[in-house]
Amino acid sequence: MSLRLMYITNRPEIAKIADKTGVDRIFVDMEYIGKEKRQAGIDSVKSHHTISDIVSVRKVLKNAELLVRVNPIHKSTIKYGSSYEEINAAIDAGADVIMLPMYRTIDDVENFLHIVNGRAKTQLLAETQDACLIMNQVVQIHEVDEIHLGLNDLQLAYHKKFMFELLADGTVDDICNHIKQSSKKFGFGGIARVGYGMLPAEYVIKEHYRIGSTCAILSRAFCNADKIKELSVINELFESEIVKIRETEIFAENMNKEALNLNHEQVKKVVNQIIAEM
C-alpha cells in the first residue's frame, strides 16, 4: 500500500513540481461558502480557487489526478451560481475527482452524485457529526468512490481543542470502522514533513497504516508555498521530503500490529501533552 498524497495549490508552477516529484493528486480548492465564518479562529487553509485555476493547473499535469473541492450543496443566489452549475463547470474544466464538503444528509449526497453522473470520481468530505451518523448508509451507495475525514471541521463538531485529538481518542477509528465495512477507499487529515509538525508526520503516517487509510493531504507544514519565493527551494523540498514520506511508509508497512499499537499509544501521549500546553 502507498498513501495517495494530495497537495492544495492553484499555481501551475507549484502543481508542476508536485506532479513530477510524486504527489498523486493536485487539489484545487473552490470551497468558500460559509467556511470563513465556520472556521473563524482556526489556522486552516481557506482558499477561493476558481474554474480558471482548474484549467491552468490541468494543462501542466502529466501524472497526478486533478481533484476539485466544490462548495457544499447549494442553490443559486445573487452572489453565486448553484451546485449544478459549479460542478458541471469543474468537470468541463478537467477535474478527475470532485470532492463534496460539509454534507449532512443522504439527500445532499444523492444530489451531488446525480449532478456528477459518473463523469468524475466522487469523494465525500465527512466533517460534520451528521455526516458521521449516516456513514453506514453512505458507504452502501455504489456511486460514492471515496471518503475523506476533514479533521479541522470535525474538531469543531466534536468540541475538541486540537484536530489530532480525534485520532488519539479513537473517534477516527470509530468512523473508519464503519467505512471499512465497505470496499471504499478512505483517508483523513493532513501530514507535515517527516520530523515536523505539532504531531510529526512519522507518527501520523503510521496511524494511517494502522487504521487502513489510503489517502492524506500534504499540509502547509509540509510546504507553505506562499512563504517561499524561490521555485528552486520548493522543488528541492518536494524532491527530498516526498522521498522521506515514502521511506516512512515502507517502514510502517512492515510494522506488526503490536508495533503500530505502540505508536498509537505514543500519539496519545504527544497529543495529550499538546492539549495540556494549550
For 261-277, write each residue's pLDDT tens digit.
Answer: 999 999 999 999 999 99
Residue 145 CB contacts under 8 Å (≥ 6 apart), including other chains: 97, 121, 122, 123, 184, 185
Domain assignment of residue 42, given as a range: 4-277
Provide the whole-model pTM: 0.93
Domain count, the chain: 1
Torsion-angle region of 159 (φ positive above 0: left; ψ -120 to 50: alpha; else: beta) = left
Tens digit of each residue's pLDDT (9 = 90 or more) over 138-160: 999 999 999 999 999 999 999 99
CATH number of the domain encompassing residue 64: 3.20.20.60
Q: How many helices (H) and strands (E) does the chain have?
A: 13, 8
Angstrom distances, CA of residue 179 to CA of 7, 33, 134: 23, 27, 11
Q: Name residue 59's amino acid.
A: K
User: How does pLDDT run along the chain (278 residues), one tens digit per residue?
Assistant: 689 999 999 999 999 999 999 999 999 999 998 765 545 454 445 568 999 999 999 999 999 999 999 999 999 888 888 999 999 999 999 999 999 999 999 999 999 999 999 999 999 999 999 999 999 999 999 999 999 999 999 999 999 999 999 999 999 999 999 999 998 999 999 999 999 988 999 999 999 999 999 999 999 999 999 999 999 999 999 999 999 999 999 999 999 999 999 999 999 999 999 999 98
